[in-house]
Amino acid sequence: MVFGVVDLDFLDLDLNFDVDSSTSILEIGFVPLRFLNLGSVPTNLWLSVFALTGWMVSRLWNSPLPHPTFNWPSDSMAILRDGGVAAALTKIITQPLRGRFDPVEPNRSADLVGKHCVITTTEVTETFGEAELATDGAPLRLKVRNDSGQLKKGDFAVIVDVQTKGNTYFVEPESV
């Protein structure tokens, strides 16, 4: 599963637990899953590491000699013990991977302040205007505003402020 040879889509669970700020019984119940890095590391990767460490622990800790019958008390305790040790080892192994798989927003509004754009509407006023900002991908179309009324189509401008409520950017003419 780690290398993509076997694709088991039914094991790909989304374990993002968004709970209100008020403490509930569910929030407390899912703490062990977050502690074990489930939800911070892809589920298939976590399960692969858990299976590998569980197999190694069971092979190294238990007797290699086969026994023909299942002895409920001793074999159940061995399974629980091996599973607990494998979970602890999986947590240690996957700890450096926490946060590496989180999505990154490419163009956050605050990061655009100071960038240069090109005016695409006939003019920019305090209530109207659009500009285009070149990015690594497709250009961004931004709602821009300016008090001076100096900006016309094709002019270069610098983003000086952002109003996140209306998703509006304030621009000034680019100084040459």
pTM, rounded to two decimals: 0.55
Which helix (H) or strand (E) segment holds residue 175: the answer is none
Ramachandran bin of 125, using left for φ above 0, alpha for ψ from -120 to 50, beta for the remaining angles: beta
Ramachandran bin of 39, using left for φ above 0, alpha for ψ from -120 to 50, beta for the remaining angles: left
127 and 65 in one domain?
no
Mean pLDDT per block of 10 residues along the chain (176 residues) reads 58 57 58 81 92 94 80 88 95 93 84 92 92 90 89 93 89 83
Q: Distance of CA 115 to CAs 109, 120, 171, Å?
A: 11, 16, 10
Q: Which of 65, 97, 129 is the last residue of a domain?
A: 97
20 and 56 in one domain?
yes
Domain span at residue 117? Answer: 109-173
91 and 17 in one domain?
yes
Q: Are the CB atoms for 139 and 133 separated by under 8 Å?
A: yes
For residue 32, the model assigns a pLDDT of: 74
